[in-house]
Amino acid sequence: MNSITPKHVAIIMDGNGRWAKLNNKTRLEGHRKGVESVRSVIQKSKDLGIKTLTLYTFSKDNWKRPKNEVRGLMQLLHKTLKKEFDNFHRNDIRVSFIGDIHSFPQSICNLISETINTTSNNKSLNLNIALGYSSRQEIVNTTRKIAQEALDGNLNIDQITLDLIADRLENSYLGDPDLLIRTGGEYRISDFLLWQIAYSEIYFTNIYWPEFNESEYLNAISDYQKRERRFGKISEQIT
């Protein structure tokens, strides 16, 4: 039994499109509705004392979606960041991003830079937003960094350890997620934090993201707290 609130929660926010179809809405309306769930989860994370919340907002593979949907998502992202910017800062939330943000429109890149800089000293919650993210690509990029360090003579092969690799990953200072949540009824990881979730507890729910409210979030946290986190050990070693 683990009664401790997770320090780091990561969420794959899935099901906006299917919620929209079920409710005779457009896919973009589903994404807009999903923003409400984002606000709710951010606030509840802060209330619960969770230190880090990582949200899988837009994957590298999402660029493959229909152009009209991608265009609408970019507009929604720009509007949401601009609207929530003051709220993040006012609520002492530090915002960071993970993924290839340089692929996004310049207006969004500018907002991202401004958000990072302005909230950098905030402490109540680390909000880590995955944009244009691919875990496999992150691991490739990390491998290249380490290889270059070795080629430059700044790193010996014997120094390449699990800890060193973890330290070279994006936003490594945030630590690994204790709990990974996926909404929408799918049971896969979808190229998200593959290294970091090696020992994360995973919670799947059939609830579509636009319906993932505070109560559903508390259900996920409660489920996490009922689990025994052994990290390879046996029960007697951790009690």
Positions annotated as catalytic residues are: 14, 62
Listed in sequence order, the DSSP H helices in 25-161 are 27-48, 67-90, 106-119, 135-151
Q: How many Å apart are CA 128 and CA 174, to the nearest integer?
A: 9
**From edge to edge, which strands make up the β-sheet containing 125-133?**
93-98, 125-133, 52-59, 8-12, 179-182, 201-204
Contacts of 133 (CB under 8 A, 6+ apart): 56, 58, 59, 60, 98, 99, 100, 191, 192
CB count in 10 Å sphere of residue 211: 19
Q: Compute the Cα dihedral for 183, 168, 228, 50 and give only its sign.
A: negative
CB 6 within 8 A of CB 176: no
Asked whether 231 and 38 are in contact (CB, 8 A), the reply is no
Distances from the Cα of 154 to the Cα of 140, 149, 159, 169, angstroms: 19, 5, 10, 18
